[in-house]
Amino acid sequence: MRTTMGIENREYPRQEITLTVCIEASDGTRTSCWLSDLSQTGARLAVGQAGALPDEFMLLLSNEMKHWCRVVWRTGQEVGVRFERRSQGADRPPEERPKRFVMIKCPRTSRNISTGIRVHDTDELGKLPNVRRFAQCPHCEVVHGWSVAEATL
């Protein structure tokens, strides 16, 4: 089904839905979000901070239903994902894997903060110069200093 301007352009129509689901990053961290619509090939998710999500993750719809997803678009609080058939991509060389956001913890709220820096893996993170950097915290609205030793993916 291909049409233009204000009419559905997707191959498979999306069904509106409101369901609390969970995103699981490759490092095992989980983030709750809301499934806004769903099709055979993808979904739209509402999250607190779309920019802090990795480019690929496992979407846990239930204990029995999971989808490996790749982000295809993002806004401030929403992401559009495409369901992927492959696993987490561990078999791909590092340069072909998507870059992940370098994260730090807010010392006031203990919540994750995206630094805006992306790397492929922890080895690449460890190669960053060990200098003091700063990140604006969206949770407490304070600028926090951090170093590579304090960061995670």
CATH number at residue 52: 2.40.10.430
Containing domain of residue 45, as a range? 15-84
The 3-state DSSP class for residue 149 equals helix
Mean pLDDT of 66-87: 86
Matching residue, tokens 């600028």: 143
How many domains, the chain?
2
Please report where in the chains the tokens 């979904």 appear, as a residue.
Answer: 43
pLDDT level of residue 70 (50, 70, 90 thresholds): very high
Residue 116 sits at the vertex; the CA angle it makes with 80 and 22, to the nearest 5 degrees, is 40
What is the model's pLDDT at position 3?
A: 40
Sorting pLDDT into bands at 50, 70 and 90, what band is 92?
A: low
Helix (H, G, I), strand (E, B) or coil at 126: helix
In a domain, 1, yes or no: no
Asked if residue 94 belongs to a domain, the reply is no
N residues, the chain: 153
Tens-digit pLDDT profile for residues 95-144 = 556 777 888 999 999 888 888 888 878 888 888 888 899 988 888 989 99
DSSP state of 122: H
CA 99 to chain centroid: 11
Q: In this structure, which amino acid lies at residue 8?
A: E
2 belongs to a structural domain: no
* pLDDT (0 to 100) of residue 88: 46
Q: What is the pLDDT of residue 2?
A: 40
30 and 71 housed in the same domain: yes
19 and 44 both lie in a single domain: yes
Count other C-beta atoms under 10 Å from residue 5's C-beta. 5
Residues 68 and 110 in one domain: no
Judge if 39 and 69 occupy the same domain: yes
Q: Is residue 145 part of a domain?
A: yes
- Asked whether residue 121 is assigned to any structural domain, the reply reads yes
pTM of the model as a whole: 0.50
- Identify whether 91 is part of a domain: no
Residue after which a domain boundary falls, among 39, 59, 84: 84
Together in a domain, 74 and 120 = no
Residues 26 and 80 grouped into a single domain: yes
Indicate the residue among 84, 109, 136 that finishes a domain: 84
- pLDDT tens, residue by residue, 6-54: 555 666 677 777 788 999 888 788 889 999 888 888 999 999 888 888 8
The residue that leads in pLDDT, 107 or 63, is 107
